[in-house]
Amino acid sequence: MTCYIYLLKNYNQMFIDGNINTQIKRRTVYGISLGSSKRDHTGEIQIGWTHFKLIRKGTDGSIEKAATLFKQYDGKVDAFGLGGAVLNLPFNNHKYYFKELKQLSNAVNFTKIGDGNAVKGILSENALNAIKSEGIQLQGMKTLHMGAIDRYSQAEVLVKNGCDIVFGDFMFGMGLPIPVRSLKTMNKVGSIALPVITQLPFRWFYPIGKKQDKKPSQKFKKYFQESELIVGDYIWMKVNLPDDLSGKIILTNTTTADDVEELKRRGLKMLVTTTPRIDGRTFGTNIIEAMLLCLIDKSEKEITDEDFRELINKIPVRPNIEKLN
């Protein structure tokens, strides 16, 4: 099933119609992920007069296979998404590059590529506003953030909204029982650790490939139990989720229909994703960024944060809210 969304240029409104097919531009976004191939998916969506085919292809943790796919499709698709990894880590006004992942960006010469970094903060802010519109007070809410290093812009938005946060970078990235309770502390830790971490194998810090399908660890379930709001990367959540999520809210990104059913079984109250559900799945922010790159008539170097924000609000790209229990 294709989701058709038409933006009326002269009116601030949207309408949905499956029958219009005039002067349609067709674009293909090819998402290549270091994640499990079990989560592969294809979806279609139409924004204005541009019809998108969205493809997600997992390489089961193989950086080499991902690089080969980027080379194979470079110049043959309209935009790439990079999932399960990032081109760089924007952290406290600095950018850090994983040495091991440079071969991925080096494999692309012609096609625009999005890793989600440019839109995560904007989409997270919109999602938190959507939660507040449900009558939920974020100020002082006990919050577990899976990792500030991975999603620094998201961490900033949580702090801005007054959440009482535990950052899980040490716990979920390194397996160390060290909760961090302020972004100021994370800034100090990150400035010391990131120059070293980014020289080491990426798989040491993030579950890629088959590790994404392992049975959830209960090592840090205490921090899930103490939280009302759980925020961050869903794969990190998936491999650490406790059995009971009763009364809790999750704010995350990529979820499949199976993920939703599993969260419902565990008693989750509300699932909020920063991206809309398309053909049964919420695609990652990298795919959304890649779509936006197709719609902005500028080179990647010329595109600003404001360009992304303006287009996200104009389409609009809305968060998805599902009340499960």
For residues 198 and 294, membership in a common domain is answered with no
In a domain, 113, yes or no: yes
Buried b (16+ CB within 10 A) or exposed e, 107-131: bbeebbbbbbbbbbbbbbbbbbebb
CATH of the domain at 150: 3.40.50
**Residue 212 pLDDT grade (very low, low, confident, very high; cuts 50, 70, 90):** confident
For residues 163 and 56, membership in a common domain is answered with no
In a domain, 48, yes or no: yes
| Residue 259: per-residue pLDDT | 94
In a domain, 322, yes or no: no
For residues 114 and 127, membership in a common domain is answered with no
For residues 185 and 308, membership in a common domain is answered with no
For residues 217 and 304, membership in a common domain is answered with no
Domains identified in the chain, total number: 2
CB 3 within 8 Å of CB 46: yes
For residues 132 and 257, membership in a common domain is answered with yes
CB 179 within 8 Å of CB 168: yes
pTM: 0.89
Range of the domain at 12: 3-118+282-317
- Name, in order, each residue with C-beta under 8 angstroms of 261's C-beta and a sequence gap of 6 or more: none
In a domain, 256, yes or no: yes
For residues 68 and 127, membership in a common domain is answered with no
| Residue 154: per-residue pLDDT | 96
pLDDT per residue as tens digits for the range 91-109 = 999 999 999 999 999 999 9
For residues 71 and 113, membership in a common domain is answered with yes
pLDDT per residue as tens digits for the range 161-192 = 999 999 999 999 989 999 999 999 999 999 99
| Residue 91: per-residue pLDDT | 95
**Residue 129 pLDDT grade (very low, low, confident, very high; cuts 50, 70, 90):** very high
For residues 154 and 272, membership in a common domain is answered with yes
